[in-house]
């Protein structure tokens, strides 16, 4: 357990010309917590990580690790390891040299660095690649080299920018499990950016949802899922995300506001109050998602058991449990 390795971001701002990449981020991550970060493309996730790593200077605000303001601490002196979205491996160094790089910069003796690099490579299943160059490895393998390079550093804070995105589904699952096991073992404070909903929900002690450079909500995954703070979060988390009905419509009136219902909280029922036409049936094996359309044009996604004999164009009736509705005010905030 790395003690005192908590991370605190205060009023962090970073603009690139007119682009407000990070727009006032406050975040407190206690030592040892794993936070998953989600948000649409361009919402400032990578920029936030780069500010923490010291690769960018904030226009305003502060990054602190273990209570220390890092303003004047250069990147290589920060107890922070980052796995980049694009791997950022050194092409002229072998896989082994890439993994050892951070250790050598920190003056770890060569033999010990080699040993640690070998152990990390073994752990990530890339031991047979140690003497190759990055361009002789596949995308998924390069990603694991980048992970191994971060793992050997044992920093106070890990910043992982979509570290599993290039892995195939199976490897992704096993690497996810490895990462979690490793996290439990070394207990480093971790920010893990992902576009994968399942990863965001299952890996994080908390999930942070970003939009347009701001944090919309931060909380335990189930809490954020069950009680999204606003319509943005409601429409972002979940696959498919929550159905949002401006004005309430078929879900019942909401003067000026919006009413939402998750696809799993709608059900087929011949006596249900909502009539809709099936636009498409997405069969996912263990379940199906019906994409339906009400007479007024409103689209509703419905999660159903698999093997229904419904076809596009069929008419269905839907029911919902009033207790499972989510209400948002005119500004989109949860009521
Ligand atoms: N070096 C840069 N110069 C100018 N604009 C930049 C630069 N880096 C990022 N941006 C802009 O800042 C915003 C945030 O970018 P960032 O890379 O942080 O997004 P992201 O959330 O990581 O997106 P993605 O999910 O696509 O990786 C975007 O509008 C992006 O175009
Ligand atoms: Mg990014």
Structural domains present in the chain? 7-232 (3.40.50.300), 254-328 (2.40.50.140)
Mean pLDDT, rounded, for 198-215: 94
C-alpha torsion sign, points 303, 308, 310, 315:
negative
Characterise 297 by phi-psi region: left (phi > 0), alpha (psi -120 to 50), beta (else): left
Whole-number Å distance between alpha carbons of 302 and 291: 7
In this predicted structure, the answer to whether residue 3 has a pLDDT above a threshold of 60 is no
CA angle (198 as vertex; 193, 201 as ends), nearest 5: 70
Q: Edge-to-edge, what's the strand order for the sheet holding 7-16?
A: 19-29, 7-16, 60-65, 68-69
CA angle (154 as vertex; 194, 219 as ends), nearest 5: 35
Whole-number Å distance between alpha carbons of 34 and 180: 9
For ligand 1, pick from 23, 36, 44 the residue to mutate: most ligand atoms within 8 Å of CB. Answer: 44
For ligand 1, pick from 42, 87, 200, 209 the residue to mutate: most ligand atoms within 8 Å of CB. Answer: 42
> Distance, CA 119 to ligand 1 centroid (Å)?
34
Whole-number Å distance between alpha carbons of 213 and 45: 8
Going by CA atoms, what residue is nearest to atom 11 of ligand 1?
21
> Distance, CA 41 to ligand 2 centroid (Å)?
7
Going by CA atoms, what residue is nearest to atom 8 of ligand 1?
47
Mean pLDDT, rounded, for 215-221: 97
Q: What atom of ligand 1 comes closest to residue 195's alpha carbon?
A: 25
> Distance, CA 174 to ligand 2 centroid (Å)?
23
166 phi and psi angles, rounded to 5 deg: -95, 5
pLDDT tens digits, 90-133: 999 999 999 999 888 888 999 999 999 999 999 888 999 999 99
Going by CA atoms, what residue is nearest to atom 7 of ligand 1?
16
pLDDT tens digits, 25-69: 999 999 999 999 999 999 999 999 999 999 999 999 999 999 999
In this predicted structure, the answer to whether residue 2 has a pLDDT above a threshold of 60 is no
Going by CA atoms, what residue is nearest to atom 31 of ligand 1?
42
Going by CA atoms, what residue is nearest to atom 19 of ligand 1?
42
Q: Which residues pair with residue 320 across a beta bridge?
A: 266
Q: What would the two tokens of residue 65 be?
A: 């690790």
In this predicted structure, the answer to whether residue 12 has a pLDDT above a threshold of 80 is yes
> Distance, CA 234 to ligand 2 centroid (Å)?
21
> Which residues have CB under 6 Å of ligand 1?
16, 19, 21, 39, 41-47, 85
What was the pLDDT predicted at 1?
A: 39
> Distance, CA 250 to ligand 1 centroid (Å)?
39
Contact (Cβ atoms closer than 8 angstroms) between residue 90 and residue 72: no
Whole-number Å distance between alpha carbons of 47 and 24: 12
Going by CA atoms, what residue is nearest to atom 24 of ligand 1?
41
> Distance, CA 66 to ligand 2 centroid (Å)?
25
What was the pLDDT predicted at 166?
A: 77
> Distance, CA 163 to ligand 2 centroid (Å)?
11
Q: What atom of ligand 1 comes closest to residue 210's alpha carbon?
A: 21
What was the pLDDT predicted at 197?
A: 87
Q: What atom of ligand 1 comes closest to residue 213's alpha carbon?
A: 14
Contact (Cβ atoms closer than 8 angstroms) between residue 6 and residue 66: yes
> Distance, CA 46 to ligand 2 centroid (Å)?
4
In order of 53, 94, 188, 232, 257, the CA distances from 83 in angstroms are: 10, 17, 14, 28, 41
Q: Edge-to-edge, what's the strand order for the sheet holding 80-83?
A: 80-83, 157-161, 189-193, 34-38, 206-211, 214-219
pLDDT tens digits, 128-166: 999 999 999 988 888 889 989 988 887 899 999 988 887
> Distance, CA 44 to ligand 1 centroid (Å)?
6
3-state helix, strand, coil in the chain (%, to 5): 30, 30, 40
- Among the bound ligands, the one closest to the CA of 51: 1
Residues in the chain, overall count: 335
pLDDT tens digits, 260-312: 999 999 999 999 999 999 999 999 899 999 999 999 999 999 999 988 889 99
pLDDT tens digits, 230-269: 999 999 999 899 999 999 889 987 778 999 999 999 999 9
């Amino acid at each position: 357990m790395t003690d005192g390795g908590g991370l605190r971001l205060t009023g962090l701002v970073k603009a690139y010309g007119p682009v407000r990449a990070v727009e006032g981020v406050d975040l407190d991550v206690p030592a040892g917590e794993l936070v998953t970060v989600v948000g649409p493309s361009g919402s400032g996730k990578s920029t936030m990580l780069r500010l923490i790593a010291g690769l960018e200077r904030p226009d305003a605000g502060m990054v602190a690790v273990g209570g220390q303001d890092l303003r004047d601490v250069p990147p290589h002196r920060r107890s922070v390891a980052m796995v980049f979205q694009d791997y950022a491996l050194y092409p002229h160094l072998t896989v082994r040299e890439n993994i050892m790089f951070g250790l050598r910069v920190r003056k770890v003796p060569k033999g010990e660095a080699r040993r640690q690099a070998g152990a990390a490579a073994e752990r990530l299943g890339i031991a047979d690649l140690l003497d190759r160059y990055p361009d002789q490895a596949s995308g998924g393998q390069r990603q694991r080299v980048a992970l191994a390079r971060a793992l050997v550093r044992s920093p106070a804070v890990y910043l992982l920018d979509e570290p599993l995105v290039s892995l195939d589904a199976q490897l992704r699952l096993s690497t996810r499990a490895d990462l979690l096991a490793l996290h439990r073992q070394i207990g480093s404070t971790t920010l893990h950016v992902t576009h994968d909903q399942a990863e965001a929900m299952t890996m994080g002690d908390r999930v942070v949802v970003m939009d347009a450079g701001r944090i919309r909500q931060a909380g335990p995954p189930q809490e954020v899922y069950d009680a999204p703070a606003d319509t943005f979060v409601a429409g972002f988390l979940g696959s498919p995300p929550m159905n949002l009905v401006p004005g309430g419509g078929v879900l019942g009136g909401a003067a000026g506001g919006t009413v939402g219902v998750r696809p799993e909280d709608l059900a087929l029922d011949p006596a249900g109050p909502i009539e809709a036409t099936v636009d498409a049936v997405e069969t996912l094996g263990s379940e199906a998602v019906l994409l339906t359309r009400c007479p007024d044009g409103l689209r509703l996604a419905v999660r159903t058991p698999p093997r229904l004999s419904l076809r596009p164009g069929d008419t269905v009736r839907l029911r919902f449990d009033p207790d499972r509705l989510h209400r948002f005010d005119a500004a989109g905030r949860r009521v």
